[in-house]
Amino acid sequence: MRGIVGFARHAGVVSGALVTLLCLGGVARAEDPNDWLDIETKYIFGFTTGSGIGIEGEKEFTVDSIGRFGKRDGHYAATETKYEYEFTPSQFVQIEFGALGTTHNIGGVTGLDNRNSAGFGGGFAEFRYLALERTSSNPLSVTLAFEPNARFIDETSGERVHNYEFETSLNSDLELVHNRLYAGFDLLYEPEVTETRLGDTVREATLGGSAALSFRIVPNVLIGGEVWYLRHYDSPTLSDFTGDAIMLGPTLYVQFTPKTFMVAAWNYQVWGRETGTPLALNLSEFQRNRARLKFAWEF
């Protein structure tokens, strides 16, 4: 845990310095937001995904890491990194696919084996369809997304499994102030089935929604915050509720050049419950903290 806090402090200082430098550069230009170029909204909300689908013919390679830290006891750190190729074949559809890399550092957590491992975790694909596009007279934009995943390593425990997940989401965003302030909203339904090494089959689902705000302080930097409400079920049909959680945290988006950008986000569980226990927070199905760091190169 001390390592995570240290990492968070270090990342915070670096991010703060970076934003300050970029802000100073932006302020020096003293531009009118009405003169700024339109921004792609997909990645400006942290874990919340905006409606953007890119530009027809555009290709992108990204490295997208999500870390999950903290269980009820012991020490727990797990990461999943997507090595992703993304392209936009038409003005309404975006396709992504790639490989998953995982790491697990677990010690003394009740219900989980101690583990210190890294490996190839599986693969995924994502299909996005822009259902409603933003225009200068309509600030709302909506995209439907489907993301099948196949994993060989369990996201939480790090055990070898066969896991199939089908994430379905609705990503929408609203331009509240032209070129300045954006609101993002996601709805998520994520059924999955897992076969363990012992031959057990586990079916479960996560249902959730998020709301985010992102403020464009200078043309190439947006900062904001988001809140997620997540519910977990031991059934894809949502019939067996096991607990829920609320996660809250800041977001950062930095466009380094017209073709490169980064996303950083941190969510902290502020409230949660597990059915059948009086304990605060839900640390069985979710985690105390999660962080996202993504770098992208368009070409």
Partner 1 sequence: MISHLPTPRRLTAASICALALLSAAPIRAEPAVEVHLTYANGAFQPSEVRAPANKPVVFRVKNLDAKAMEFESTSLRVEKVVPSKAEGIVNVRPLQPGRYQFYDDFNQKARGVLTVQ
What does the binding site for partner 1 look like in residue numbers (CB under 8 A)?
37-40, 53-58, 88-93, 127, 129, 133-138, 146, 148, 162, 164-166, 191-193, 195, 201, 236, 258
* 3-class secondary structure, 20: helix
Among residues 228 and 253, whose Cβ is nearest to partner 1? 253
Among residues 237 and 278, whose Cβ is nearest to partner 1? 237
For residue 8 the two structure tokens come to 């968070």
For residue 289 the two structure tokens come to 């903290």
Type of residue at 285: E
CB 219, min distance to partner 1, A: 10
What is the rounded distance in angstroms from the CA atom of residue 265 to the CA atom of residue 205?
Answer: 24
Among residues 46 and 191, whose Cβ is nearest to partner 1? 191
Among residues 7 and 164, whose Cβ is nearest to partner 1? 164
* DSSP assignment letter at 48: B
CB 175, min distance to partner 1, A: 11
What is the rounded distance in angstroms from the CA atom of residue 89 to the CA atom of residue 70?
Answer: 40
Closest CA to 53 of 81, 83, 84, 90: 90
* DSSP assignment letter at 33: G
CB 149, min distance to partner 1, A: 9
Among residues 82 and 288, whose Cβ is nearest to partner 1? 82
111 contacts: CB under 8 Å, gap ≥ 6: 284
Phi/psi region, residue 122 (left: phi>0; alpha: psi -120 to 50; beta: rest), is: left
- For 229, the enclosing helix (H) or strand (E) is strand 221-233
Contact 121, 151 (CB under 8 A): yes
Query: What is the length of the chain?
Result: 299
CB 299, min distance to partner 1, A: 11
Among residues 225 and 236, whose Cβ is nearest to partner 1? 236
CB 272, min distance to partner 1, A: 27
CB 144, min distance to partner 1, A: 8
Among residues 137 and 276, whose Cβ is nearest to partner 1? 137
CB 164, min distance to partner 1, A: 4
